[in-house]
Structure 1
Amino acid sequence: MSPTIHLAQQPEADELLSRSPLAVLNGMLLDQQVPMEWAFSGPYTIAQRLGTDDLDAAQIAAYDPDAFAELLKQKPAVHRYPGSMAKRVQQLCQYLVDEYDGDVSAIWRDVETGEELLARLKALPGFGEQKAKIFLALLGKQFGVRPKGWREAAGAYGEQGSYRSAADITGPESLAKVRAYKQEMKRATKADKKA
């Protein structure tokens, strides 16, 4: 059974995220320097522009890079930096084709521990430590992917009842709580820099 995802805050985009591991993985990749809803609606926009109702890693990886960049640049753009993000999406899809035969769920299907899954996520192009931990928490909290020690491997993002990241968003109320947390972290960072 697929979860009901509310990361894009747009029904059609959230429906795709709920049923497509590739869509949610690419949404996580796009989730930088833009509002979260914009990032997570990106996979739906890409699918529409490709003329399909789902995403296919092999199709995206094989797409002409200039033409794919143009797809992401069309108004409204998929990201603030559509050209560079088009490259990242294609790099991620090529990695998935090379390492997992294009099957995103193979990343977590046979892992036994949270640390093993975290290592696999950190190996993905465009996924550093923090993004990998957030995605691990998202998998555990909303997709039921819970290998032994997943919460510990996800760090603070895995904490039950927290409102730190995309992993914790299940609707408008939790989105507001995550936004408030992020604003508080920005204020604290600015205060530390001034001190």
Structure 2
Amino acid sequence: MDVTLHLSQQPDADALLGRSPLAALVGMLLDQQVPMEKAFTGPYTIAQRMGADDLDAHEIARYNPEAFAALLSEKPAVHRYPGSMAGRVQQLCQYLVEHYDGSASAVWEGAASGRDLLKRLEDLPGYGKQKAQIFLALLGKQLGVRPEGWREAAGSYGEEGSYRSVADITGPDSLVKVRAHKQEMKAAAKAAKAAKPGGDGNAK
């Protein structure tokens, strides 16, 4: 795995995401309740603060929890909720050590099909179905990991030519399109909620 990603919009952080399977998994894990660029810069920031060029699942798994939380909490904090996310990152790494000997890429290298890969991703701590589908789409669209049926397993995120998620971001232009799509989805959800009886008082 050595590709060019553009998820953090910072060259060094994107370079790490492109060469490190664990960094990509951690970035996806952090991608909630913060801007996408901040989430995917997180793995690079963590590696720097650990004095390393890459993330090591074994090292993170055995790190003192309080010290690791402090590491992520240093200003600027890695996440809006650095303490709780530090715990989630450690849980993810501990799971990888226990089930995949610490190798993040083993999660997808041994997958027999798209459905199997989705199940493997959903089993990761901190990964629900939507996050698993988005990461599966990222693997297929940008990282060349394409087991049979991967697009179907990724659902709408696997559609060719779509701009729904981080899986579709290849530069500034596509980032704008993905952001626009997310705003449309939020507006539609808000409108649907308002249209329900009792939603905003206007529905009959």
Please classify the TM superposition score into its range, dividing by the shorter chain length. over 0.9
Confirm or deny that 1:31 pairs with 2:31.
yes
1:74 is aligned with what amino acid?
A: E
Kindly state the Cα deviation for residue 3 of structure 1 after the two structures are TM-superposed: 1.5
Distance in structure 1 (CA, Å) of the matches to 2:150 and 2:18: 21
2:17 is aligned with what amino acid?
A: L
1:126 is aligned with what amino acid?
A: G
Distance in structure 2 (CA, Å) of the matches to 1:14 and 1:124: 23
Kindly state the Cα deviation for residue 59 of structure 1 after the two structures are TM-superposed: 0.2
TM-score (norm 1): 0.99
Kindly state the Cα deviation for residue 163 of structure 1 after the two structures are TM-superposed: 0.3
Distance in structure 2 (CA, Å) of the matches to 1:45 and 1:69: 13
Q: Which residue of 1 aligns with 2:134?
A: 134
Note the 1:39-118 alignment, pairs <5 A. Answer: 39-118=39-118
Q: Deviations over 1:70-99 (max 9, x none)?
A: 000000000000000000000000000000
Distance in structure 2 (CA, Å) of the matches to 1:20 and 1:57: 11
Kindly state the Cα deviation for residue 111 of structure 1 after the two structures are TM-superposed: 1.4
TM-score (norm 2): 0.95
What SS is found at the alignment partner of 2:162?
coil
CA RMSD of aligned residues (A): 0.6
Distance in structure 1 (CA, Å) of the matches to 2:23 and 2:160: 25
Distance in structure 2 (CA, Å) of the matches to 1:145 and 1:109: 8
Percent identity over the alignment is 73
Distance in structure 2 (CA, Å) of the matches to 1:174 and 1:76: 27
Larger Rg: 2
Distance in structure 2 (CA, Å) of the matches to 1:165 and 1:2: 21
What SS is found at the alignment partner of 2:52?
coil
2:63 is aligned with what amino acid?
A: Y
Q: Which residue of 2 aligns with 1:123?
A: 123
Kindly state the Cα deviation for residue 112 of structure 1 after the two structures are TM-superposed: 1.8
Q: Which residue of 2 aligns with 1:157?
A: 157
Length, aligned pairs only: 195
Distance in structure 2 (CA, Å) of the matches to 1:117 and 1:33: 26
Kindly state the Cα deviation for residue 110 of structure 1 after the two structures are TM-superposed: 1.9
Kindly state the Cα deviation for residue 125 of structure 1 after the two structures are TM-superposed: 0.1
Confirm or deny that 1:171 pairs with 2:196.
no
Confirm or deny that 1:14 pairs with 2:31.
no
Distance in structure 1 (CA, Å) of the matches to 2:49 and 2:14: 17
Q: Deviations over 1:22-66 (max 9, x none)?
A: 000000000000000000000000000000010000000000000
1:173 is aligned with what amino acid?
A: D
Kindly state the Cα deviation for residue 8 of structure 1 after the two structures are TM-superposed: 0.4
Distance in structure 1 (CA, Å) of the matches to 2:57 and 2:112: 25
Distance in structure 1 (CA, Å) of the matches to 2:113 and 2:192: 36
The answer for unaligned runs of 5 or more in structure 2 is 196-204
What SS is found at the alignment partner of 2:192?
helix
Q: Deviations over 1:112-167 (max 9, x none)?
A: 21000000000000000000000000000000000000000000000000000000
Distance in structure 2 (CA, Å) of the matches to 1:63 and 1:106: 22
2:164 is aligned with what amino acid?
A: R
Kindly state the Cα deviation for residue 2 of structure 1 after the two structures are TM-superposed: 1.7
